[in-house]
Structure 1
Amino acid sequence: MRRLEPGDPPAIGGYPLLAVLGAGGMGQVFLSRTASGRPLALKTLRPEFGLDPGFEERFAREIASSDRARSAWTVPVVDYSPPGQKPQWLATEYAPAPSLADWVEHNGPLPEPLLRALAAELAEGLRAVHRAGFAHRDVKPSNVLLARRHPLLIDFGIARAADDTRHTRTGGVIGSPGYMAPEQAAGGISAEPGDVFSLGATLAYAATGNGPFLQPGEIPSAAQLLYRIVHEEPALDGVPPALAPLLAACLHKSAQARPTADELMERIGAAPGSWTAALPAELSADIAAKEAELQALLQRTAPLPPPPHQAPPTGFGPPVAYVEPSAVHVRPPALPPAPASLARRSARLRTAVGVVAGVVATVVVVALAWPDGGDGRTDGSGRTSPPPSPSPSSSRSTTSEALPSSWVGTWKGTGPGSASGDGVVNARTTKVSVTVTLHAAARGGIVGRQISHVIDAGSGRDIGCTETLRLQETHATSMVFEAATSTPTDPSTGVVCMPGNIYTLTKAGADTLKLGDEGSQTAGSPARLTRSS
């Protein structure tokens, strides 16, 4: 918790901002309060989310529906922004407790009794979410609070809103790369088995201080982590022997082979009340210090009276908060089809042992001249940034530091498109044509570009994007590419293109490249590309 900066707003949505609690891939978090003095965590969402047509409506819908999954292991939603309000925000009850990520980083792995109690509590929390008909979709150490009575799962509704269409149809990847399930890394549906996988990865971090797909001390790229999650086995060295088989079951590559939350509860077999009994003195003292800090701050800050013409909220917890009349949630008119490209909409994943960038839900990127005059260092606002430094590659799978000469050339393929879109926030497409041109480059350098022609079924418009490709990872028979930049293939359509999409191509023959599952490609993309020159 730190003081507000001079540039921070004094209030959002009628709620005063008292301090800064932190920031993450999805946005910034402030400490706030209701008019009656109830402490709130108020999270503002990154503006990139607003680039996705339909996100505001999904956000309101998912936050509202998440109230049905309220339990002792989730923080109640108090209020949230209506569609059309900027910035978008969400206010929940504030729990003065450290996150699992922060606690382990500063104090080391959890002792086995506390680890077992944490496993039981989080499994029970997920069971409550799943029984309500939902999946969390972003279980990770930073989304677990080590509160006094129960560990708490946070960011439930935001994760669902951000993930809703990007995985199932035209989207990208949401979540922290080191903790998402293989089917999630491959762009598939993230459901209850994905939560169990993420729980296993989170518990492995709690037990060892390291994610199960990380080597100690390394800071791998998102591409490395996605590749390992899909293809490699987790490292569970350091996990207590009694819990290692359980975590291995949670981390099974097959979603069908993982235990359910109910089965986890049976296998863990923790006694009721084991969490409070297992709390170490150091953690209890940390919680007490945060509680005292909160009370002191609330006492120093006089609550704001409700502005005139306000009414109590409906449907969200005890009626102690106030919202503006504009917070009446009205379904907005239908939006035009979201664009699609070979890349699922932006999955700009930046990883530094658990730090993950938020994901924008529109198709691909910025402008950078290629092949002449550009160097891959321009972002969407025209600002320049330092050239990328190649991230350390895994000794387990990296075989080269450059694109093999046999890959150089032009490769083309055509896919059938997808008729499963709803035509409102997910486009229905009739054809996806892709041309990838590659030239010699070292790992970390600009290696070529791909041009997508994605034909919208309703309008016949080309809503594809043209991307500059960076060689992100090299493996024995496969290469991982990241979209350094992207612009609309047809500028007249007004398609918004965002950077950061990840693709894996595998050499399937002298003149054939196979598009891997663990990437950002949209539904209906060509499965194979054939050499044309």
Structure 2
Amino acid sequence: MESLRPGDPPEIGGYRLLARLGAGGMGEVFLARTASGRPLALKTVHRDLSLEPDFAERFDREIRANDRVRCAWTVSVVDFSPPGSSPQWLATEYIAAPSLGDWVSRYGPLAEPALWCLARELSAALVTVRAAGVVHRDIKPANVLLGAQRPFLIDFGIARAVRDPRHTRTGTVVGTPGYLAPEQATGAVASAPADVFSLAAVLVYAATGRSPFLAGGEELSLPALLYRIVHDEPRLDGVPDSLLPLVRACLAKDPALRPTAEEVRARLGAAEEEDWLRAVPPALLEETGRREAELRRLLADAQPPTPAVPPAPLSEPARAFAAPGTPPPPPAVPERRRGRLPSRPRVLGAVAGAAALAVAVTLAVRLLGGGDGDAAAPSASATPSSPAQQSSASALPAAWVGTWSGVGSGTPGADGITQARTGEFAVTVTLNAGAVGDIVGRQVSDLKELSTGRNLGCTEALELRQISRNSVVFAAVTSHPTDRAASFDCPRGNLYVLTMAEPDRLTLESEGAQSAGAPDTLTRRH
């Protein structure tokens, strides 16, 4: 992290810039903050790159790839620039931690216990990436952050959908020399096995301080390095004997001979929650602590002098939902700019016949818990608890952080005119740590119209509005179709109440206009 330079803009996209984090092939990376004080890594795009004819499509694809991968080992997309912006940019969560490349260059290779733990954690990340249908294609030491709680795999800038070969150019080397697979080095289409190869190459670096195709301190021209990757055997001296067979298998020249990500994880074993803290060197924890303290100082120094507008009381927007079909009220706090943020499930748009009929169906979530066993949850028109009865907690409890999902039946029997005929209604809600006023989550719905196959789901960013005992209130401050090529509009300003009656399980009930066919239960993903 370094200070801003003369000529750097004070803000980009409405986010105040605090420091420089680095630069890469796509552009510069800044530390930024939201109005409520949440830190972001904001990556800008080089002007020359943004002028390329197909760049807008590739940039949108990068964002969508990032947004599909949601797990404990990756960072979430928070916001991005609208079309035509200059510069174009992408904002993600910020992790105050050194990269594996920075750490090893300063302190040397990892000891065997930390190396094993890194292998377990990254293999678990890779399984999640593969399950999301994404190939990272640029796993390298600079894209692995050594966080205090776990490592993170970042920067899906050249990721492509596994089953979308239209966007892969043969004859083009995609990736970072020294860590890319032979098929990438020759410009062939690279799929999931390429990530397994790169993961093994990163582990060799973590164990030895060098790429498996370079000697210590050696520098080669790009053609010479690519030749080695394609034709020479990797240099594995320095890799612990306990990891050597697996690493050698992952570095096979033939993609078909490499183990899958799932097989790698099975051979390494599952990582226990406290393994990372026990295995990493104390100096790493000191370093992350120093970075987090510096981050807190920067955020505090950049705190605006005027207090943020407090969240609106629950009563007014809740009563506004009493009449089904009534458009949702505007957000009670200033809406977060454009409404371009990836988020989570909810709204449903449909098109019937030649007339475009947008059916906006809102999903409000409340868990039935407490009270009399047969008592129903209060309706949207019921009077909510007074502010005096509500908790003054300002941070989302740790038990809420994670990814929750469920699948409903959809509406296959609908008439297709007043209500879309859809298949299964899949909902995913991801919640991150944060305080009231922060955008802490994303809600994504996926459901296909049976007659056309279109995805009618919407994706929303969730702002934490209120915490009351075991219930939490969220407002959807941005909303867009989950399928970004869709032409319908998703409503904004929806209000959600979630209540946790038992760990790892949320039961959903509609308030106001109901999303027919939505799941009635969300469970935590592990």
TM-score, normalised with respect to structure 2: 0.58
Q: Which amino acid is 2:214 matched to?
A: L
Partner residue, 1:136: 136
CA distance in 1, matches of 2:336, 2:143: 36
Q: Is the counterpart of residue 176 in structure 1 residue 176 in structure 2?
A: yes
Higher relative contact order (CA 8 A, sep 6+): 1
1:102 aligns with 2:102: yes
Establish whether residue 154 from structure 1 lines up as the match of residue 154 from structure 2. Answer: yes
Counterpart CA distance in 2 for 1:275 and 1:226 is: 34
Would you say the 8 A contact 1:83–1:332 is kept in 2? no
Q: Give the AA of the match of 2:111.
A: P
Aligned to 2:297: 296
Q: Compared with structure 1, are the counterparts of its residues 134 and 243 closer, same or farther at alpha carbon in structure 2 (3 Å cutoff)?
A: same
Could you tell me which residue of structure 1 aligns to residue 222 of structure 2? Answer: 222
Bigger shift: 164-173 or 123-132?
A: 164-173
- 1:503-514 paired onto structure 2 within 5 Å: none
Check conservation: 1:310, 1:323, Cα contact below 8 A: no
Map of 2:235 onto structure 1: 235
1:6-45 mapped onto 2 (5 Å cutoff): 6-45=6-45
Contact 1:78 1:91 (C-alpha < 8 Å) held by counterparts: yes
Name 2:89's counterpart in structure 1: 89
1:319 aligns with 2:462: yes
1:189 paired residue number: 189
User: What SS class does the counterpart of residue 4 from structure 2 fall into?
Assistant: coil
CA distance in 2, matches of 1:103, 1:257: 32
8 Å CA contact 1:141–1:202 kept in 2: the answer is yes
d(CA) in 2 for partners of 1:67 and 1:41?
15
2:254 paired with 1:111: no
Q: Deviations over 1:67-100 (max 9, x none)?
A: 2221001001101123322222110000000000
Secondary structure of 2:190's counterpart equals coil
> CA 1:131/1:325 → structure 2, altered by over 3 Å: closer, same or farther?
closer
CA contact (8 A) 2:79 2:91 kept: yes
Task: State the one-letter code of the partner of 2:195.
Answer: D
Aligned residues: 332
**C-alpha spacing 1:309/1:70, structure 2 compared with 1 (3 Å):** closer
Please report how far the alpha carbon of residue 266 of structure 1 lies from its aligned counterpart in structure 2 after TM superposition.
Answer: 1.4
**Alpha-carbon spacing, 1:99–1:193, altered in 2? closer, same or farther (3 Å):** same
Which shifted more, 81-90 or 23-32?
81-90
Distance (whole Å) between structure 1 residues aligned to residue 238 and residue 291 of structure 2 = 30
Per-residue deviation at 1:127? 0.1
Displacement after TM superposition at 1:24 (Å): 2.0
- Kept after mapping to 2: 8 A contact 1:166/1:173: no
Give 1:80's aligned residue: 80
Within 2, Cα distance between the matches of 1:270 and 1:31? 33
One-letter code of the match for 2:290?
A
Amino acid at match of 2:337: Q
Check the 8 A contact 1:183/1:190 in 2, yes or no: yes
Distance in 1 of aligned mates of 2:102 and 2:65: 29
Q: Over aligned residues, Cα RMSD in angstroms?
A: 3.0
Contact persistence 2:170–2:189 (CA under 8 A): no
Amino acid in structure 2 at the alignment position of 1:52: E
In 2, Cα distance between equivalents of 1:258 and 1:153? 21
Cα deviation per residue 1:351-399 (whole Å; 9 max; x = unaligned)?
xxxxxxxxxxxxxxxxxxxxxxxxxxxxxxxxxxxxxxxxxxxxxxxxx
Deviation at 1:265, TM superposition (A): 1.1
1:167 and 1:190 in contact (8 A); partners too: no
Post-superposition Cα deviations, 1:261-281, rounded to whole Å, max 9, x if no partner, equal 111111112541222221221
Q: Tell me the CA shift for residue 247 of structure 1.
A: 0.8
Identity over aligned residues, as a percent?
A: 56
The verdict on how the C-alpha distance between 1:84 and 1:311 changes in structure 2, with shifts beyond 3 A counting, is closer
1:101-500 correspondence to structure 2 within 5 Å: 101-160=101-160, 168-169=168-169, 172-273=172-273, 274-303=275-304, 310=337, 312-316=339-343, 317=442, 318-320=461-463
**Equivalent residue letter for 2:289:** A
Distance 2:131 2:335 in 1: 41
Gaps of 5+ in 1: 334-533
Mapped contact 1:60–1:83 kept (Cα < 8 A): no
Q: 2:336 and 2:117 mapped to 1: Cα distance?
A: 47
Equivalents in 2 of 1:263, 1:101: separation in Å? 26
CA contact (8 A) 1:68 1:132 kept: yes
Q: Which amino acid is 2:294 matched to?
A: E
Q: Is the 8 A contact 1:139 1:195 kept in 2?
A: yes
Amino acid at match of 1:315: P
Gapped runs of 5+ residues in structure 2? 309-332, 344-441, 443-460, 465-474, 488-526
Q: Secondary structure at the match of 1:156?
A: coil
**Rounded Cα–Cα distance in structure 1 between residues aligned with 2:219 and 2:88:** 31
Provide the secondary structure at the position in 2 that maps to 1:319: strand
- Name the aligned partner's letter for residue 301 of structure 2: R
CA contact (8 A) 1:137 1:194 kept: yes
* SS in structure 2 at match of 1:60: helix
